[in-house]
Structure 1
């Protein structure tokens, strides 16, 4: 919110392996993080979606209202269900965040701009033909041996 600042160093002054090389700064090529995140959410098992929503509500709920609104906006850009459910848990609707603009360094494709103009009303992302392996065990399932 007030720009990035380097934290004060703590602990040992030197840790880990010694590395030599050049540090460079460059912009990453444009990515569509919202699409990937939205598709991932759609491909989750129902219990995984429920857990993710609950975790977002609990953790984002500790942030300032301004941050909560921005996060709901980002989640709505990913997937309507995700943003609407987290927003409901925080008392924030798509209408409350519709006025927010992309962050200054974000560049949107036409499809992302279209998604933003229909914020919260885009419907589920199409994941036909996509599959995902589930690496998180379902702790709710009792395995009898």
Structure 2
């Protein structure tokens, strides 16, 4: 699987994207001027589509994984989220649960056991 960040080759900041941010995180600049509407045998316009499925494909992909692949993905996500503040962790778990209930539950359980485990060992 290839991962490409648009415009990085042109010197753009790879850490600014369209994901929701909070706090002092980088923000995508607000557009200036009129939106670009290229002409091609008529006018093309940007419009919000009525039906969006922001989580379906990711859920299908998760369910297509072998059980060991799901285990690795959950383990990696729990580890990566442990390096973020609790607000980000909770938001991400919410997105994962929308994609697949099992995926969200497993990451939440992993995060919870990590937090409970660190609380027991530190106190």
TM, length-normalised to structure 1: 0.45
Q: CA deviation at 1:27?
A: 5.7
CA distance in 2, matches of 1:42, 1:28: 29
Structure 1 position 35 matched with structure 2 position 56: yes
Change in CA separation of 1:27 and 1:51 when aligned onto 2, cut-off 3 Å: farther
TM, length-normalised to structure 2: 0.53
Change in CA separation of 1:51 and 1:27 when aligned onto 2, cut-off 3 Å: farther
Aligned length: 76
The Cα offsets for residues 46-84 of structure 1, whole Å up to 9 and x where unpaired, read as: 111111111110111111101111111111111111000
Alignment partner of 2:101 out of 73, 76, 80: 80
Structure 1 position 5 matched with structure 2 position 16: no
RMSD: 2.5
Structure 1 unaligned spans of 5+: 7-22, 93-145
Structure 2 unaligned spans of 5+: 1-21, 29-34, 38-45, 114-123
SS of the residue corresponding to residue 55 of structure 2 reads: helix
The Cα offsets for residues 105-141 of structure 1, whole Å up to 9 and x where unpaired, read as: xxxxxxxxxxxxxxxxxxxxxxxxxxxxxxxxxxxxx
CA distance in 2, matches of 1:27, 1:90: 38
